[in-house]
Amino acid sequence: MPSGTLYLIPVPISETDLCLVVPNYNSELVNSLTYFIAEDAKNARRFLKQCNYADISKAEIAELNEHTKSNSVSELIKPLIEGKNVGLLSDAGCPGIADPGADVVKLAHQKNIVVKPLIGPSSIVLSIMASGFNGQNFAFVGYLPIEKPQRCKRIKELENLAVKSNLAQFFIETPYRNGQLFDDLIQTLQPETLLFIGINLTSSSEKLVSKSVKMWKQAPKPDFHKIPAVFGIYR
Amino acid sequence: MPSGTLYLIPVPISETDLCLVVPNYNSELVNSLTYFIAEDAKNARRFLKQCNYADISKAEIAELNEHTKSNSVSELIKPLIEGKNVGLLSDAGCPGIADPGADVVKLAHQKNIVVKPLIGPSSIVLSIMASGFNGQNFAFVGYLPIEKPQRCKRIKELENLAVKSNLAQFFIETPYRNGQLFDDLIQTLQPETLLFIGINLTSSSEKLVSKSVKMWKQAPKPDFHKIPAVFGIYR
Q: CATH number of the domain that B108 lies in?
A: 3.40.1010.10
Cα dihedral sign for A18, A22, A23, A25?
negative
Residues A113 and A130 in one domain: no
Counted across chains A and B, CB pairs separated by less than 8 A come out at 167
**Closest CA–CA distance from residue A117 to any residue of chain B (Å):** 6
Q: What per-residue confidence (pLDDT) applies to B71?
A: 72
Residues A137 and A171 in one domain: yes
Q: Kindly tell me if the per-residue pLDDT of B153 is higher than 90.
A: yes
**Closest CA–CA distance from residue A54 to any residue of chain B (Å):** 21
Cross-chain Cβ contact A132/B139 below 8 Å:
no
Residues A127 and A195 in one domain: yes
Whichever domain contains A130, its CATH number is 3.30.950.10
Q: Provide ipTM, 2 decimals.
A: 0.96
Residues A178 and A209 in one domain: yes
Cross-chain Cβ contact A103/B132 below 8 Å:
yes
Question: A212 to each of A115, A155, A183, A235, B113, how far by Cα in Å?
Answer: 41, 15, 14, 9, 16
Q: What per-residue confidence (pLDDT) applies to B180?
A: 97
Torsion of CA B161, A109, A140, A29, to 10 degrees: 170
Q: Kindly tell me if the per-residue pLDDT of A175 is higher than 90.
A: yes
Q: What per-residue confidence (pLDDT) applies to B22?
A: 96
Cross-chain Cβ contact B135/A96 below 8 Å:
yes
What total of structural domains would you count in chain B? 2
Three-point CA angle A18, A19, A25, nearest 5°? 95
Q: What per-residue confidence (pLDDT) applies to A69?
A: 75
Q: Which tens digit of pLDDT belongs to each residue from A176-187?
A: 999 999 999 999
Domain finish residue from B82, B102, B117: B117
Q: Kindly tell me if the per-residue pLDDT of B24 is higher than 90.
A: yes
Cβ pair A206, A200 in contact under 8 A: yes
Residues A112 and A128 in one domain: no
The percentage of chain A sitting over the pLDDT mark of 70, rounded to a whole number, equals 100
Residues B70 and B146 in one domain: no
> Which helix H or strand E contains A28, and what residues bound it?
helix A24-31
Q: Which tens digit of pLDDT belongs to each residue from A63-121?
A: 988 787 777 888 999 999 999 999 999 999 999 998 889 999 999 999 999 999 999 99
What's the domain range around A214?
123-234
Torsion of CA A94, A96, A101, A103, to 10 degrees: 170
Q: Kindly tell me if the per-residue pLDDT of B77 is higher than 80.
A: yes
Cross-chain Cβ contact A19/B22 below 8 Å:
no
The DSSP annotation for B63-93 comes to E-STTS-GGGHHHHTHHHHTT--EEEE-SSB
Please tell me the least confidently modeled range out of A62-76, A122-136, B156-170.
A62-76
Residues B169 and B210 in one domain: yes
User: Which of B119, B165, B202, B212 best probes binding to A when mutated, by most A CB atoms within 10 angstroms?
Assistant: B119
Cβ pair A43, A94 in contact under 8 A: no
Q: What per-residue confidence (pLDDT) applies to B183?
A: 97
Cross-chain Cβ contact B24/A21 below 8 Å:
no
Domain finish residue from A84, A102, A117: A117
Rounded to an integer, what distance in angstroms lies between the CA atom of residue A209 and that of residue B183?
42
Rounded to an integer, what distance in angstroms lies between the CA atom of residue A34 and that of residue B17?
25
Q: What per-residue confidence (pLDDT) applies to B17?
A: 92
A87 vs B contacts (CB less than 8 Å): none
**Closest CA–CA distance from residue A40 to any residue of chain B (Å):** 18
Confidence of residue B117 (pLDDT cuts 50, 70, 90): very high
User: Which backbone phi and psi does B11 adopt, to 5 degrees?
Assistant: -120, 140
B94 vs A contacts (CB less than 8 Å): 125, 129
Q: What per-residue confidence (pLDDT) applies to A51?
A: 96
Residues A183 and A127 in one domain: yes
Q: Do the bridges between strand A194-199 and strand A229-234 make them parallel or antiparallel, or are there none, so unpaired?
A: antiparallel
Rounded to an integer, what distance in angstroms lies between the CA atom of residue B224 and that of residue B197?
10
Which residue of chain A comes nearest to B114, CA vs CA?
Answer: A208
DSSP A93: B
B101 DSSP β-pair partners: none
Please tell me the least confidently modeled range out of A61-75, B41-55, B149-163.
A61-75
B133 vs A contacts (CB less than 8 Å): 102, 106
Which residue of chain B comes nearest to A125, CA vs CA?
Answer: B125
What is the edge-to-edge ordering of all strands in the sheet holding B35-38? B60-63, B35-38, B86-89, B5-9, B114-117
Residues B34 and B97 in one domain: yes
What mean pLDDT is reported for chain A?
A: 95
Rounded to an integer, what distance in angstroms lies between the CA atom of residue A154 and that of residue A144?
7
Cross-chain Cβ contact B23/A25 below 8 Å:
no
Buried b vs exposed e over A78-97: b needs ≥16 C-beta within 10 Å? ebbeeeebbbbbbbbbbbbb
**Closest CA–CA distance from residue A142 to any residue of chain B (Å):** 5
Confidence of residue B45 (pLDDT cuts 50, 70, 90): very high
Domain finish residue from B72, B93, B117: B117
Q: Which tens digit of pLDDT belongs to each residue from B47-75?
A: 999 999 999 999 999 998 878 777 788 89
Q: What per-residue confidence (pLDDT) applies to A142?
A: 96
Cβ pair A64, A103 in contact under 8 A: yes
Cross-chain Cβ contact A137/B133 below 8 Å:
no
- Residue type at B230 in one-letter notation: V
Rounded to an integer, what distance in angstroms lies between the CA atom of residue B141 and that of residue A101?
23
Region A48-61 average pLDDT: 96
Cross-chain Cβ contact A135/B101 below 8 Å:
yes
Residues B87 and B141 in one domain: no
Q: At what angle do helices A102-110 and B123-131 cross, to 10 degrees?
A: 80
Residues B168 and B186 in one domain: yes
How many Cα neighbours within 13 Å face the side chain of A88? 34
Cross-chain Cβ contact A95/B129 below 8 Å:
yes
**Closest CA–CA distance from residue A56 to any residue of chain B (Å):** 24
Confidence of residue B98 (pLDDT cuts 50, 70, 90): confident
Cβ pair B39, B99 in contact under 8 A: yes
B102 vs A contacts (CB less than 8 Å): 131-135
The percentage of chain B sitting over the pLDDT mark of 70, rounded to a whole number, equals 100
Cross-chain Cβ contact B129/A99 below 8 Å:
no
Cross-chain Cβ contact B21/A115 below 8 Å:
no
Q: Kindly tell me if the per-residue pLDDT of A129 is higher than 80.
A: yes
Rounded to an integer, what distance in angstroms lies between the CA atom of residue B146 and that of residue B157?
15
Residues B9 and B58 in one domain: yes
